[in-house]
Amino acid sequence: MSEILTPDTALTRPLDAAAVEAELTALAERYRAAGGLGIQILNLLGGSVDGLLDKLPAPVRSRLDGATEQALQLAMQGASGSRRVVPDQPSGVNRAVSAAMGAAGGMGGLPGALVELPATTAFLLRSIQGVAAEEGFDPETDGVRFDCIRVFAAAGPLAADDGADLGFLSLRLGLTGGAVQKLIAQVAPRLSVVLGQKLAAQAVPVLGAVAGATTNFVYAGYYQEMARVHFGLRRLAVAADQPHEVLVARLQDRLLAPR
């Protein structure tokens, strides 16, 4: 029987070929399931989200990129600091807390959602850092901090192409703090589309509370799963003593192959 990696064994002893294949298959299934679940749940809100951004007021749309970049900057500071005070929580707890935050923000319509956006961004980043720690990496190092932000480049669960977001897997560790700031500026425009959809769904008071809770629940689960794929692949590269880029390509082959 093939061995599946655990955090206790991943960074201590090499794996055989069968174990590597089993882990890659598990990561591919996790990747597929994350986006599929998000689409199904968000569709329950009633209708497609494709036109949600157009429903936001023009001044809000024009400021989304800048607001998202600022939210990421603040989130990096707040998320790292909170880990020193409050321990990481299980995935289910994170999703429940995120849903409560979304409901609270949605109760106030668009103004409330705009206030909630930075807090939700920090919370999502904090949950990504927790996954990194579970997989055996130190979220306080520059390289892992870079990777935690990079997970946001996976956009959201509504991405049309399963293979389109694989670029977020391919960057190496060991980067400087300055690179983290540059990455935030690059990721912010893409993440702003995701958060803009969320804001539009929360724009109607009361109904916005339901939309906020639902979208936050979905996004918290989605980004945690993307983090598990990202750092799981990093862990596998170390455990299997194989180049990370090779494993990324093999994972991509699995995702793009007909099922």
131 contacts 227 by C-beta, under 8 angstroms: yes
- pLDDT at site 177: 54
Regions of the chain short of the pLDDT cut 70: 1-14, 37-52, 80, 82-85, 155-178
Share of the chain above pLDDT 90, in %: 14
CA distance 177 to 179: 5
pLDDT of residue 4: 40
- How much is the pLDDT for 83? 66
Give pLDDT tens digits for 217-230: 888 888 999 999 99
pTM (two decimals): 0.79
Residue 27: its pLDDT value, please?
93
Cβ atoms of 221 and 34 closer than 8 Å: yes
**What is residue 167's DSSP assignment?**
G
How far the first Cα of the chain sits from its last, in Å, is 23
Q: Which two tokens stand for residue 49?
A: 């989200």
- Comparing CA positions, the residue from 228, 212, 235 lying closest to residue 151 is 228
Measured over the CA atoms of residue 129, residue 132, residue 138 and residue 141, the dihedral's sign is: negative
**Other beta carbons within 10 Å of 205:** 15
